[in-house]
Amino acid sequence: MASANSEHSRFMREAIALSIKSVNSGQGGPFGAVIVKDGEIIAKAHNMVTSINDPTAHAEIVAIRQACQKLKTFKLNGCQLYTSCEPCPMCLGAIYWSRVDRVYYANTKADAADIDFDDQFIYEELDLPISDRRLPIIQILRDEALQAFKLWSEKVDKIEY
């Protein structure tokens, strides 16, 4: 499958080029991502955290938003995501929610940690019970909040996802 392999390399090189562009333009961290459907790039993005003041503007998230807008859908089945670095926990969550078929990555999270992009603490937090996490997360007003869940479960014309 030499041709398939070279196609994967082509898409990854595009993601890598975006990561380099991000650094050179001063728009964000050294991360790029593209989303491919049917052999065509439908979204390309790089990290924009510092340029648009959005801590969620990681390359993968920006690319997922672009792809969904382009395809006018909230599900990216049939799509592949190429990211220049192994996704952080936030992006990994977004990737699962987006339903992309597959993820290709280049740099590892250890490579990212070496240049001070260390998301290991988030993985460690996830393993802890809520009460032991460094971020205080406090439950209040569950009874009132459950109203929306009840409405949802009874709604007949809802758009499930």
**Closest separation between CB of residue 60 and Zn ion, Å?**
6
CA distances from 36 to 18, 23, 47, 53, 64 (A): 15, 23, 18, 27, 11
Q: Least separation, in Å, of the C-beta of 105 and Zn ion? A: 11
Residue of 45, 49, 88, 100 that binds Zn ion (CB under 5 A):
88
Among 14, 60, 144, 160, the active-site one is 60
Instruction: Mark the segment that binds Zn ion (CB under 5 A) among 36-44, 89-97, 99-107, 137-145.
Output: 89-97
* Minimum CB–partner distance for residue 111 and Zn ion (Å): 14
CB-based contacts of 90, cutoff 8 Å, min separation 6: 56, 58, 61, 122
Provide the 3-class DSSP secondary structure of residue 78: coil
Beta-carbon neighbour count of residue 56 at 10 Å? Answer: 13
Q: Is residue 109 involved in binding Zn ion (CB under 5 A)?
A: no
* 58 near Zn ion, rule: CB under 5 A: yes
91 touches Zn ion (CB under 5 A): yes
Q: How far is the CB of 90 from Zn ion (least distance, A)?
A: 5
CA gap 71, 155 in Å, rounded: 27
Verify whether residue 60 is a known catalytic residue. Answer: yes
Query: Which of these ranges, 3-11, 84-92, 109-117, 121-129, lies near Zn ion under the rule CB under 5 A?
Result: 84-92
β-pairing, 102-107 vs 79-85, is parallel
Question: What is the Cα–Cα distance from 146 to 81, expressed in whole angstroms?
Answer: 35
- Fill in the DSSP letter of residue 116: T
Q: Does 112 bind Zn ion (CB under 5 A)?
A: no
Active site residues: 60
The residues of the shown chain that bind Zn ion, judged by CB under 5 A, are: 58, 88, 90-91
